[in-house]
Amino acid sequence: MLVLITYDVNTETTAGKARLRKVAKQCVNYGRRVQNSVFECLLDQAQCIALKAKLTELIDEEVDSLRFYYLGNKYQTKVDHVGVDHGLAADQVLIL
Amino acid sequence: MLVLITYDVNTETTAGKARLRKVAKQCVNYGRRVQNSVFECLLDQAQCIALKAKLTELIDEEVDSLRFYYLGNKYQTKVDHVGVDHGLAADQVLIL
């Protein structure tokens, strides 16, 4: 299924900047970056649980946030893009 | 239906900063800000088309991007949040 992950990491501190890098790095392992703080990942249930646990561990829940949107398997018609696009499709199907 | 709008606006220039403010202002009119560049909007088809047209007009498609994710009407189970949350639910139902 397609899981959209968005995050806000507070980068006012050096520790925050480090958290941001770690979160982005972890997401890169699982999907493609479609915008600065937005990743699209094709995951099965187990991968999704694992990634969520890893990211939750990385952030500071007092100041950062993660959001997960579950778009299912029929996601091709559920996404629209306008403007510049530097990314690659998660499964090479999203670019139409 | 719930429409998730995410945007990346290039703020390297003064014009870019102005575009960012305008995009955010427009989104605020239609929904709630759940993260810095992520809005959740409850829209019907006509509102969705209108908002998309407005936002597309505001951005510079050479350097900025918008993404729209259509989460339908049964979205309550399709969203997970971890960490700090300053927002209000779009229809006061998302906070469970």
| pLDDT tens digits, A3-44 | 999 999 999 999 999 999 999 999 999 999 999 999 999 999
DSSP 8-state code for residue B50: H
A85 contacts chain B (CB < 8 A)? yes
By the 8 A CB rule, do A36 and B65 touch? no
Q: Which of A4, A7, A71, A38 is nearest to B78 (CA)?
A: A71
* pLDDT for the residue numbered A76: 87
Cβ proximity of A64 and A78 under 8 Å: no
Q: What angle do CA B43, B48, B53 make, to 5 degrees?
A: 150
Interface contacts (A, B; CB < 8 Å): 118
pTM recorded for the entire structure: 0.88
B8 is in an annotated binding site: yes
Q: Does A53 touch chain B (CB under 8 A)?
A: no
Report the pLDDT averaged over residues A46-57: 96
What distance lies between CA A78 and its chain's CA centroid?
A: 17
Q: What is the four-CA torsion angle of B32, B35, B36, B37, rounded to 10 degrees?
A: -80
Neighbouring residues of B3: CB distance < 8 A, sequence distance ≥ 6: B31, B40, B41, B42, B43, B48, B51, B68, B69, B70, B71
Supply the pLDDT for residue A33. Answer: 93
Q: Do A56 and B82 touch (CB under 8 A)?
A: yes
